[in-house]
């Protein structure tokens, strides 16, 4: 069983649902409390033991690369002002030299194409894929739970994080069919992208965390475009499932769809509420907003 050492973060999206804020700022840099959205995902990956962080960027995303680099002027200013706690915080978040890589997706051809753009950086080994629109609040994190379960699976296994949603919302997501159990996981019998409610194989949706084998790159290279001409990774996963096992893991924790405004706002409240330095005061302010209810 090869270890999962590398993770891909597709961060080339335009973030149009957050305009005008994302006109000049990548959506992945929008703060959830006091940390950019992308930093929360890197934290989750680092906790899971990921050693190499691969970012697939696009135009106007240079600020993400700058964020994961040293800021000498800022560090000098903090040191001169004896703000050592802030300086230590910046150092803790910074990836070690040579552990962060950036590659470009020149055209917006879909998630599958973005993953394929990272093929040379990943090489021929299994890897994790984390979608920046999704946060999962739990310790241990979602990816750590997946890697722990993956260790008991077949050598060429693929693992997808799944969660339950009400059936009336099922047509908005990729949905999996449930097969026999495998430890904490279950075999995925089928994958369907945005099925009608009456044709959905279950109410378990794909949640934006994957462990995939490198053979997915071979399929993505020849994958034809679907709706809007985009290359969908689900199509290649369906093909790969003919020759390799796919397992689903119902992870512990609450997910937040930070690609939507309500999900993003809810994540900010939830993450702030769990912090002892912010939670009590925030609760009082929320009570005031709700008229004391």
Count Cβ atoms below 10 Å from residue 194 Cβ, excluding itself.
14
Residue by residue, DSSP assigns 108-171 as ---HHHHHHTTHHHH-SS-EEEE-TTEEEE-SS-HHHHHHHHHTTS-TT-EEEEEEE--GGGGG
Q: Which of 48-62, 73-87, 172-186 has the lowest mean pLDDT?
A: 73-87
Q: List, in order of start, the domains of the chain with CATH numbers.
A: 6-259 (3.90.550.10)
% the chain with pLDDT above 70: 98
**115-154 per-position pLDDT tens digit:** 999 999 999 999 999 999 999 999 999 999 999 999 988 7
Cβ-count burial 24-62 (b if 16+ within 10 Å, e if not): ebbbbbbebbeebbbbbbbebbbebebebbbbbbbeebe
Q: What is the pLDDT of residue 93?
A: 81
Q: Tell me the C-alpha distance between 117 and 220, whole Å.
A: 10
pTM over 0.85: yes
Length, in residues, of the chain:
293
pLDDT in tens, 80-125: 888 988 888 888 888 888 899 999 998 878 999 999 999 999 999 9
Distances (CA, A) of 2 to 85, 129, 157, 183: 38, 16, 11, 19
pLDDT tens profile 243-289: 999 999 999 999 999 999 999 999 999 999 999 999 999 999 999 99
- The whole-number pLDDT of residue 70 equals 86
Both structure tokens of 145 = 């739970």
């Amino acid at each position: 069983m090869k270890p999962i050492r590398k993770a891909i973060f597709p961060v080339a999206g335009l973030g149009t649902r957050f305009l005008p804020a994302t006109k000049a700022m990548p959506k992945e840099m929008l703060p959830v409390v006091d940390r950019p959205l992308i930093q929360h995902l890197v934290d989750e990956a680092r906790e899971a033991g990921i050693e190499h962080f691969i970012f697939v960027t696009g135009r106007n995303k240079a600020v993400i690369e700058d964020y994961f680099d040293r800021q000498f002027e800022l560090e000098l200013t903090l040191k001169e002002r004896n703000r050592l706690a802030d300086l230590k915080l910046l150092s803790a978040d910074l990836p070690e030299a040579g552990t962060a890589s950036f590659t470009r997706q020149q055209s917006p051809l879909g998630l599958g194409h973005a993953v394929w753009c990272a093929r040379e950086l990943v090489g021929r080994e299994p890897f994790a894929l984390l979608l920046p629109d999704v946060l999962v609040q739990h310790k241990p994190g979602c990816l750590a739970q997946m890697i722990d379960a993956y260790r008991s699976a077949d050598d060429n296994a693929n693992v997808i994080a799944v969660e339950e949603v009400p059936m009336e919302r099922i047509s908005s997501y990729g949905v999996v069919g449930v097969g026999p159990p495998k430890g904490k996981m279950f075999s995925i019998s089928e994958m369907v992208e945005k099925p009608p409610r009456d044709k959905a194989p279950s109410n378990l949706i794909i949640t934006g965390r994957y462990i995939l084998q490198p053979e997915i790159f071979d399929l993505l290279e020849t994958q034809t475009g679907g709706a809007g001409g985009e290359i969908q990774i689900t199509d290649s996963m369906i093909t790969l499932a003919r020759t390799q096992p796919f397992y689903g893991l119902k992870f512990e924790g609450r997910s937040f769809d930070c690609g939507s405004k309500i999900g993003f706002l809810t994540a900010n409240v939830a993450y702030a509420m769990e912090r002892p330095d912010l939670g009590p005061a925030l609760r009082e302010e929320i009570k005031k907003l709700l008229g004391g209810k």
